[in-house]
Structure 1
């Protein structure tokens, strides 16, 4: 089959403002196995430009695909763009099959199949093996009900097959790096870069996380093989920056240490960046020198909040003491800390924001990433937020960078003021500015300056966007807007009881 993978342009400011673009790892992970199965596979990365819909459709028409596969790491906020592009391609390429995968369609398969008739099938959960089986079935004209891990439509409406088994051996499927020109992708201020995954999933129970249940359980790649792959990307393609897409790559200290030692043995000059938990950093105090030697320059620490009651509410499983110690240890070993701070878990007051700012200052992170809470139907947190009011109904703005929930005690403009004031204080305090200007490590100095430059470019767009965006004064509740909670289906590759499953009676 002729199979076209399309990475649509994401509307988020973070995708549009930077000059850097990273490869679409999810689509490349599907592309490698499909190429190995003998399919003719192509990729359109419409993030470059970004490409307008008309240009995407024209390029897709020239490829003349039998099937077009969509997926996007932006998920919820990326869905409206995918819907628009897919519908246009169906009109331009008669008979093409549209296959859609990713976090959002995995859980919203009922809505998509009811409302978007042009979608042939949805891949739920991990896609490497499921996509292979689905393409074989489509090519042979077989009944789709034999494929586990998908949803599709028949004469009776949307239906779903049993979940696909969890992929235990993550090294069994290769990434289709040949689908991209490495010279086009960069990060960290113009340095050639890729996105990778050492592991999938997270064993922790944070109830707001939209990724935890998607992967079902935590697994990791072979540490030595993974290190060799990163070294090969550096030597053969000039890759300098490795951006880890893992939710929590450091879960197993043994596996992680083996990877670090293997990468050090490869003796390649790489910059590693990614996310982890503060408690893993504290646990690994005795091997943080290996982190640095392997090339780690920055970790994003998912702290979310500094209020102990809020941390307990969201089941973060961390403490302010551990968060503060993790930042201290990272600075001691020459690794930058970026702390995430999420506004809106509860309906804060001015006093709450002030207390949080003071706590953040006591943490003394190198960088800050401010986010707004964004509830997802498949997470347990959705039930906690179900009766809160929605002020932003444009689903393209459900991207963590726009306030979507009302706060009874504060109007949106005042929440924004606290949001931006907190960013400004953390990034512009004398201690932070001195690090940006005079840090002894030239690499870290470059990294902080690059991040500061991005912040200066993003700020005006965020302010103008707030003034331009329409918000509701008395909007629907979260549940009225999105529908009933789906947390019983959170684990996408485990048995659950969805609306209709293949093999059940029509009456059921």
Structure 2
């Protein structure tokens, strides 16, 4: 059946977060490309405007939207909460310039805050809730036919002044059925890891663990993975046809299935391409895979980020991390033995920390001895169980653009914000300037490790200084802020799972034939 002409513009808005602005490198917007592929395959004219380059001023973003004059503007960002104010401004300006333009908004934040967005942002016409590949196509087809999309699950929109909820979208059980629209980007513009041509990919979606603070787990609802061999072949094509050298995994847990992950590593090794892989996983999976970590290295894995989160076993239990201090230490040691960089992320502010807690955190991290360290601030999301535990705590940062994990947003009774900052910056400096870290950054014998360490030091130094500058000169904090619940509203934790779960269907894992 033919589809009437409908011109669609995918917009990746400029992001204000420190992590987006400080690096001089850009990664492609995987979420938008993931819906772009199915839309192209459905016959729609699709174009991408990536306003992260520059970053593009809002005036220029609106000018380019008007110049392209699409029928449908689809906008979203991976930094969902902190990008929302910018998206709202762009939507209002674009609608004013093009009153007939339909604006569709997707991502994690609007998936859960859809009632608030549709009530407060009249320029936004429709919200895609949850995974967008199937929903975006069905929505575009309905609009192209001039029909109301009431029968498309996974939407929220207005009808006659009332908000319509079409229910949750059904998740994709087969992630290989929807392809990424790589043809929408110029690969030469995107790089990472010190100038290496790069892309962002997903081998899997979701996470089976119950960490109470995670803002992503419920969005994907269930852990699933792509066909390991087909995925390896896709990465090899990106290498051979587009010169991609760096693969950044967006997965919460790419290693969730040992069998599937091992099959992927073996398939990628068989492709014999010189790719470098970076991503995140859990320490437990590294310990589990101690006997196949040599395959990680042969396939090109150079760094894994491990969420350490806290030195306190009690805190780890409270936030339902499902990990142990001993396991974390063992994972870091195993990665080092196999020439893989370990980055430890550590979150401050889960509890009402005092000076002794920060001192213990430093001692704890020194014992861990990770190659790289990234300290983050506890940032509650309204749709997570953690939100309920901090609903009464005071907010000291009322600008949502700074709810990006790199700014303090919650008050602590024992330590004022300036001292929290000094503890965080001191811990980072001590960890990166200790003799072992300096050796790995200056003299490491593995050239791939040395490159990664030096790149991170260069970028980390700039981020470190930027955070100090913003705190003292552009902080925008308040001493008498509202409570978390007063600021964001009542908890949405009971709606944490964003997708309707289909019946379980076992997808066989394809592996390469053994020689």
Shift in Å at residue 14 of structure 1?
1.2
Partner of 1:290: 295
CA contact (8 A) 1:102 1:123 kept: yes
Out of 153-162 and 257-266, give the one that drifted further: 153-162
What does the per-residue CA deviation read over 1:374-396, in whole Å, with 9 as the maximum and x for residues that have no partner?
Answer: 00010000000100000000010
Partner of 1:188: 193
- Give secondary structure in 2 for the equivalent of 1:76: helix
Q: Distance in 1 between matches of 2:67 and 2:422?
A: 48
Q: Which runs of 5+ in 2 are unaligned?
A: 1-5, 502-515
Partner of 1:398: 403
Partner of 2:3: none
Q: Distance in 2 between matches of 1:331 and 1:324?
A: 11
Partner of 1:444: 449
CA contact (8 A) 1:103 1:214 kept: yes
Structure 1 residue 45 corresponds to structure 2 residue 55: no
Structure 1 residue 25 corresponds to structure 2 residue 14: no
Partner of 1:119: 124
- Give secondary structure in 2 for the equivalent of 1:303: strand
Shift in Å at residue 144 of structure 1?
2.0
What does the per-residue CA deviation read over 1:293-348, in whole Å, with 9 as the maximum and x for residues that have no partner?
Answer: 00000000011112101101100000000000000000000000000000100010
Moved over 4 A (4+): none
Structure 1 residue 330 corresponds to structure 2 residue 335: yes
List aligned pairs for 1:106-505, cutoff 5 A.
Answer: 106-467=111-472, 468-494=474-500
Q: Distance in 2 between matches of 1:60 and 1:471?
A: 34
Q: Distance in 1 between matches of 2:226 and 2:102?
A: 32
Q: Distance in 2 between matches of 1:207 and 1:228?
A: 36
- Give secondary structure in 1 for the equivalent of 2:306: strand
Shift in Å at residue 277 of structure 1?
0.1
CA contact (8 A) 1:261 1:294 kept: yes
How many residues are treated as equivalent by the alignment? 495
CA contact (8 A) 1:248 1:276 kept: yes
- Give secondary structure in 1 for the equivalent of 2:150: helix
- Give secondary structure in 1 for the equivalent of 2:14: coil
Shift in Å at residue 447 of structure 1?
0.7
Partner of 1:500: none
Out of 323-332 and 56-65, give the one that drifted further: 56-65
Q: Distance in 2 between matches of 1:84 and 1:236?
A: 38
Q: Structure 2-normalised TM-score?
A: 0.95
Partner of 1:498: none
- Give secondary structure in 2 for the equivalent of 1:210: coil
- Give secondary structure in 2 for the equivalent of 1:111: helix
Q: Distance in 2 between matches of 1:141 and 1:219?
A: 35
Out of 150-159 and 363-372, give the one that drifted further: 150-159
Q: Which runs of 5+ in 1 are unaligned?
A: 496-508
**Aligned partner of 2:85 among 80, 101, 104:** 80
Partner of 1:4: 9
Shift in Å at residue 156 of structure 1?
4.9
Shift in Å at residue 94 of structure 1?
2.5
What does the per-residue CA deviation read over 1:237-277, in whole Å, with 9 as the maximum and x for residues that have no partner?
Answer: 00000000000010100000000000000000010000000
Q: Distance in 1 between matches of 2:325 and 2:201?
A: 30
Q: Distance in 2 between matches of 1:15 and 1:62?
A: 26
Shift in Å at residue 363 of structure 1?
0.4
Shift in Å at residue 158 of structure 1?
1.9
Out of 465-474 and 292-301, give the one that drifted further: 465-474
Q: Distance in 1 between matches of 2:361 and 2:428?
A: 12
Q: Distance in 1 between matches of 2:456 and 2:170?
A: 40
Q: Distance in 2 between matches of 1:54 and 1:118?
A: 17
Q: Distance in 2 between matches of 1:32 and 1:333?
A: 37
Shift in Å at residue 208 of structure 1?
0.2
Q: Distance in 1 between matches of 2:22 and 2:382?
A: 29
Partner of 2:504: none
Shift in Å at residue 128 of structure 1?
0.1
Q: Distance in 2 between matches of 1:272 and 1:481?
A: 39
- Give secondary structure in 1 for the equivalent of 2:143: helix
CA RMSD of aligned residues (A): 0.8
CA contact (8 A) 1:114 1:157 kept: no
Q: Distance in 2 between matches of 1:59 and 1:159?
A: 31
Q: Distance in 1 between matches of 2:74 and 2:220?
A: 20
Shift in Å at residue 155 of structure 1?
2.5
Q: Distance in 1 between matches of 2:464 and 2:437?
A: 18
- Give secondary structure in 1 for the equivalent of 2:405: coil
Structure 1 residue 70 corresponds to structure 2 residue 75: yes
Q: Distance in 1 between matches of 2:339 and 2:175?
A: 31
CA contact (8 A) 1:281 1:326 kept: yes
Out of 139-148 and 228-237, give the one that drifted further: 139-148
Q: Distance in 1 between matches of 2:142 and 2:126?
A: 12
